[in-house]
């Protein structure tokens, strides 16, 4: 993985953020040289809240949202189609309120 960060490339993200109710963190393995091209592409996908290059493995982490699991899954499907993406591993967020009660994602 290349040490160049997304901030170093001048990449910016769209102003609008999705307002979905299901969130996930998508861990992305990329081809060499470096993940910055993949990060820029991911940041422009609808449903992506944030995407960053990482030191080590995986190369990229993206936070995605959707109205339900199907919408969120569609975002992760678009990530795997980006040239340079080798593999993804998605983890759906389980919201926990202040009282410690875990929620369940919308299906």
pLDDT band at 12 (very low <50, low <70, confident <90, very high): low
pLDDT, tens digit, for every residue of 62-92? 999 999 999 999 999 999 999 999 999 999 9
Per-residue pLDDT at 1: 43
- Joined tokens for residue 98: 């202040």
Tokens read off for 56:
């080590």
For residues 93 and 107, the model is more confident at 93
In this prediction, residue 106 has a pLDDT band, given cuts at 50, 70 and 90, of: low
Q: Examine the pLDDT at 5 and tell me if it is beyond 50.
A: no
| Predicted confidence (pLDDT) at residue 34 exceeds the cutoff of 70 | yes
Q: Is 25 exposed, middle or buried (0-12, 13-18, 19+ CB in 10 A)?
A: middle
Q: Where are the domains of the chain?
A: 7-92
7-92 sits in which CATH class?
Answer: alpha beta
| Cα–Cα distance, 66 to 20 (Å, whole number) | 4
Phi, psi of 54 (to 5 degrees): -120, 155
Contact 1, 31 (CB under 8 A): no
């Amino acid at each position: 993985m290349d040490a160049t960060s997304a901030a170093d490339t001048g990449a910016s993200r769209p102003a609008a953020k999705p307002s979905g109710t299901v969130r996930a963190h998508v861990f992305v393995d990329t081809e060499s040289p470096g993940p910055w091209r993949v990060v820029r592409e991911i940041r422009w996908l609808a449903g992506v809240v944030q995407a960053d290059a990482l030191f080590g493995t995986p190369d990229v982490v993206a936070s995605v949202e959707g109205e339900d699991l199907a919408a969120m899954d569609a975002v992760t499907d678009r990530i795997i189609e980006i040239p340079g993406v080798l593999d993804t591993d998605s983890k759906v967020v389980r919201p926990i309120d202040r009282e410690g009660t875990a929620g369940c994602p919308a299906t």
